[in-house]
Amino acid sequence: MKILMVTPYYFPIIGGTEIFIRGISSKLNERGLQVDIMTLDTSRPLKQPVTQRMDGLNVIKIPALRFPEHLNHIGESFMTLHVPLSSTDSLQEYDVIHFHCDTDLSLPLFSYFVRKPKIFHCHSLSTNYKIYKLYPIARYMLRNVAQTYIAVSDYVATLLQDLGVSRKKVKTITNGIDTGRFRPAPEKESNNLLLFVGRLDPNKGLHFLLSSLSLLRKPVHLAIVGPLSWNKNYNTEILSFIEKAGKKTIHKVTYIGEQRPEDLVKWYQKATMLIVPSTAESLGLVILEAMACGTPVIASNVGGIPEIVRDHGTGLLIPPGGVAELAENIQYLIDNEDLRRKFGYAARQLVVNEFSYDVTAERLIRVYKQMT
């Protein structure tokens, strides 16, 4: 069976979606499927498509023009638009076309007249829901680009239904991770190291975490890992906030920037805990990665997060934007090493049993077979 993974963004852009596509494509190839990846290339819009070999996968780069401004931007929601400059003939070679990324519908629309089974995988709908809800045209496009929709959590499945996608078309398949790469290393743990991982977007809630530091009794080191936001104004504000938090509190605050996946593992293994203070989250791949490393998590009780973080079982849940509650729970875990060990062990077992690439690949293969 030949599967084409289609995504507007791919490496060297690094985000949760790109990491998942690479990992699950490799796993599906191991299972005997032929999986290729198609992505957009705005650096050479007037050239021909090229195929590169990356990490053992064929990556087809389609020349495209990007509109100079966001098509829509509402608060923390956004949608981008590209114009692919290539033929769709090569898509006919595949048994299933599997689209990713709900912030950009360019490639699904570009492939509209290709009569092949199509899947649309919603990774960020919790953030972009407002766009689809407000604009009928965007909502209509979303509802008509595929025969099957994959929600990464039950929460996202409810959002799809609210936008008019039939429940019969929606399947919930949580994203998986490489539990061989992301694994515990207790000997590497540092004392009182708080970790934040994610793009520095407003909806990731880093500003809440920085505000909570002033309420902690014991000095901590907050390491911030992730690329800057698409929002330049927020970048300026949050970098200034990071600098002030390091100077005006008893804590050490370090902005590490973007890290390669292989280096990110080391941060999870060193961290005392991962903090995810998001205001919107479809699932939270970084949560699964930390849990697989046996690192306890404190996260906002929003979106699909409660489906993987079991409060007082594998981690702690807090109300979104609750600065005082966040500080209280951070202090609680710092003061209770035995509880951190308990959460970390339970988290690792949960991810291995329910959220590994092996589990996700098996579920996807069943969907592919049903569609062909």
Summarised one tens digit per residue, pLDDT across range 283-296 is 889 999 999 999 99
Contact status, residue 194 vs residue 273, Cβ threshold 8 Å: yes
CA 13 from centre of chain: 13
The domain segmentation of the chain, as residue ranges, is 2-176+356-371, 186-354
Q: What is the pLDDT of residue 143?
A: 94
Going by pLDDT thresholds of 50, 70 and 90, the confidence category of residue 73 is: low
Q: What is the pLDDT of residue 200?
A: 93
Contact status, residue 112 vs residue 84, Cβ threshold 8 Å: no
Q: Is the peptide bond before 136 cis (omega within 30 degrees of 0)?
A: no
- Choices 3.40.50.2000, 3.40.50.300, 3.40.50.150, 3.10.20.90: CATH for 2-176+356-371: 3.40.50.2000
Is pTM beyond 0.85 here? yes
Q: Is the four-CA dihedral 316, 317, 318, 323 of positive or negative sign?
A: positive
Question: Is a pLDDT exceeding 60 seen at residue 86?
Answer: yes
Percent of the chain exceeding pLDDT 70 equals 96
Going by pLDDT thresholds of 50, 70 and 90, the confidence category of residue 193 is: very high
Summarised one tens digit per residue, pLDDT across range 145-192 is 999 999 999 999 999 999 999 999 999 999 999 999 999 999 998 999
Q: Among 93-102, 122-131, 357-366, which stretch is predicted with the lowest mean pLDDT?
A: 122-131
CATH of domain 186-354: 3.40.50.2000
3-state secondary structure of 37: strand
Question: Is a pLDDT exceeding 80 seen at residue 78?
Answer: no
Q: What is the pLDDT of residue 2?
A: 97
Summarised one tens digit per residue, pLDDT across range 198-257 is 999 999 999 999 999 999 999 999 999 999 887 888 999 999 999 998 888 899 999 999
Q: What is the pLDDT of residue 66?
A: 79
The per-residue DSSP string of 186-202 comes to GGGPPTTEEEEES-B-G
Question: Is a pLDDT exceeding 60 seen at residue 75?
Answer: no
Asked if domains 2-176+356-371 and 186-354 share a fold, the reply is: yes
Q: For 257, left (φ over 0), alpha (ψ -120 to 50), or beta?
A: left
